[in-house]
Structure 1
Amino acid sequence: MSKYYLNYLDELEAEAIYVLREVWAQFQKPVILFSGGKDSIVVTHLAQKAFYPSKIPFPLMHVDTGHNFPETIKFRDDLI
């Protein structure tokens, strides 16, 4: 993997963290929708990085359809 590629990924991560902080600053009741899939796990991880060492200042919203793996529910509960 080239150094350029890693720098680009670092830039994308920094931009995502900036956006999460701006959302918190500008909106009244932001929420992270959490399905347990790869996309919501990445967004949750970025939010953790954005507000570290504090906890994520807005709630995670998960709709339990009853069709989730038990591991998904445990992972969700461990995040909160």
Structure 2
Amino acid sequence: MNGYNLTNLKELEAEAIHIIREVAAEFENPVMLYSVGKDSSVMVRLAEKAFYPGKVPFPLMHVDSKWKFG
């Protein structure tokens, strides 16, 4: 991975963190859905980074759809 790709990933991460903070500030009762999959695990980690060293200011709700894709 060259420096450009790493920079691009950092920009995408920063944008995602900004959006998570914006949602927490704008909405009265946000919640993050969590299915224990790869995508939702990344979202939880981004939320942790967004509010570090504090706690994530909204609850996580586990969703088990019982549907497995792939």
The answer, yes or no, to whether TM exceeds 0.5 is yes
Identify unmatched segments of 5+ residues in structure 1: 68-80
Identity of matched residues, %: 62
- In the other structure, the counterpart of 2:42 is 42
Aligned residue pairs: how many? 66
SS in structure 2 at match of 1:17: helix
TM-score (norm 2): 0.89
Answer 1 or 2: higher relative contact order, Cα 8 Å, separation at least 6. Answer: 2
In the TM superposition, what whole-angstrom CA distance separates every residue of 1:37-66 from its partner, at most 9, and x where no partner exists?
00000000000000000111100001356x
User: Relative to total residues, which structure has the larger helix share, 1 or 2?
Assistant: 1
Identify unmatched segments of 5+ residues in structure 2: none
Letter in 2 for 1:51: F
TM-score (norm 1): 0.78
SS in structure 1 at match of 2:9: helix
